[in-house]
Amino acid sequence: DTGVSQDPRHKITKRGQNVTFRCDPISEHNRLYWYRQTLGQGPEFLTYFQNEAQLEKSRLLSDRFSAERPKGSFSTLEIQRTEQGDSAMYLCASSQLQREVSDTQYFGPGTRLTVL
Amino acid sequence: AQSVTQLDSQVPVFEEAPVELRCNYSSSVSVYLFWYVQYPNQGLQLLLKYLSGSTLVKGINGFEAEFNKSQTSFHLRKPSVHISDTAEYFCAGNSGNTPLVFGKGTRLSVIA
């Protein structure tokens, strides 16, 4: 299996601009998660999908953030009108839903966003 | 709500010495626990996981962890560390097929 891939790896933008990140999960994985990690902290959950359905959104996900997974494969995360506080590493993870125990999430390399 | 606490933010250790990174969890429902490692400017790599069965879990790179329900702990151990083990380590948990809740991380620094 190829792993989870994310594009771009780095993004520098000016405050007020829109940015979009892409995540390609491990093939056949039906779950896809987005997390945000700020400096010196552990990742924090943003949102997740099962196939193309968005199942849950964190309170961290303001209305400037939107995520899609239109065909149940890759996903995009868009941030509109970026703010300096959006600067962080955005991590994507994928997994296969399990019946008896928990799924195991595999992470991509992340997209580091810097808002100037 | 589930929470995960990593008791040490930084752990320095000499090369070839043993190390233990501590993790405690709180949950009123079934709990599944994971340890991930993060090297600088990279994503998270799964070290090991506890889903069910034996409470002693072995992972990659010589790491192991023990699930202790009475002490609500899932400490990570390695009997002899290498310089290449220098990284950030995250403990995480969930209640099954749900988003992970992460601790704040422990920075392991291996000293030559």
Q: How far is CA B110 from CA B11, B14, B16, B78, in A?
A: 9, 5, 9, 12
For position A1, what pLDDT does the model report? Answer: 56
Q: Which residues contact B30 (CB under 8 A, 6 or more apart)?
A: B95, B96
Q: What is the residue whose two structure tokens read 């949102």?
A: A47
Does pLDDT of B28 surpass 80? no
Give A2's pLDDT tier (boundaries 50, 70, 90).
confident
Give A101's pLDDT tier (boundaries 50, 70, 90).
confident
Give CA–CA dist A67/A91, Å, rounded: 13
For position A34, what pLDDT does the model report? Answer: 97
Angle (CA) B109 B111 B112, round 5° = 150
Query: Which SS3 state, helix, strand or coil, does residue B59 take?
Result: coil
For position B19, what pLDDT does the model report? Answer: 98
For position B54, what pLDDT does the model report? Answer: 87
Residues of B within 8 A of A110 (CB-CB) are 42-43
Does pLDDT of B86 surpass 90? yes
Does pLDDT of A3 surpass 70? yes
For position A43, what pLDDT does the model report? Answer: 95
For position B16, what pLDDT does the model report? Answer: 97
Closest by Cβ to B97, choosing from A102, A106, A107: A102
Does pLDDT of A53 surpass 90? yes
| Choice among A57-71, B19-33, B71-85, B89-103 with the minimum mean pLDDT | B19-33
- Are A54 and A69 in contact, with CB atoms under 8 Å apart? yes
Does pLDDT of B35 surpass 90? yes
Task: Indicate yes or no: CB of A43 within 8 angstroms of CB of B103.
Answer: no
Task: Indicate yes or no: CB of B45 within 8 angstroms of CB of A107.
Answer: yes
Q: Which residues contact B107 (CB under 8 A, 6 or more apart)?
A: B9, B10, B11, B87, B88, B89
Mean pLDDT of B16-31: 89
